[in-house]
């Protein structure tokens, strides 16, 4: 099994020494660099380029600059998606956003994690778990979503939250760690 296959299946893998994964990351990071340096007013070229970065997208979406990801092909965004400045998606595994998702500035979605055992971690090994965000979700500024998290539909995640566990549908959740504070 290749390191890429291990990565996508959620097993421990080595991204630091696998030539295929390194080439894929460099290729998409070059595209992100190019995207981030297109004039903000040049919406046509920005849109064309971001479509070559994302794995799957619907028609109506907008991602403010800067935007950074690891692979791009593991990112899926729904209709009417909007991300403000400085979205970071470490997409070693699938990151799927539903329709009508709005993301405030400085948010990160991190599928990659590292073993707690320092000997294993020091070998450059890591794992990746998918992230899923439902429909009609608003994510406040400076939110961090960790590996393996699912956020349900019709959810508001408060600014500054660290989402380390699943969040059910129809709630407002905030904090570090992020917890449900009320139903909608």
Active-site residue set: 114
Q: Are the C-beta atoms of 82 and 104 separated by less than 8 Å?
A: no
Nearest partner of 43 among 66, 63, 67, judged by Cα: 63
């Amino acid at each position: 099994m290749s390191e890429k296959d291990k990565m996508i299946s959620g097993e421990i893998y080595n991204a630091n020494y696998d030539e295929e994964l390194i080439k894929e990351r460099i290729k998409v990071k070059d595209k992100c660099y190019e995207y981030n340096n297109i004039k903000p007013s040049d919406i046509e070229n920005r849109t064309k380029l971001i479509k070559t970065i994302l794995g799957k997208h619907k028609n109506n979406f907008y991602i403010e600059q800067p935007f950074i990801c690891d692979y791009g092909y593991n990112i899926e965004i729904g209709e009417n998606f909007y991300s403000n400045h400085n979205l970071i998606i470490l997409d070693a595994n699938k990151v799927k956003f539903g329709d009508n998702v709005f993301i405030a500035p400085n948010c990160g979605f991190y599928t990659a994690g590292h073993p707690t055992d320092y000997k294993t971690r020091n070998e450059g090994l890591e794992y990746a778990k998918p992230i899923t965000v439902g429909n009609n979700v608003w994510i406040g500024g400076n939110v961090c979503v960790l590996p393996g998290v699912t956020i349900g539909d019709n959810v508001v995640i408060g600014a500054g939250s660290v989402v380390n566990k699943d969040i059910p549908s129809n709630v407002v959740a905030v904090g570090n760690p992020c917890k449900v504070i009320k139903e909608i």
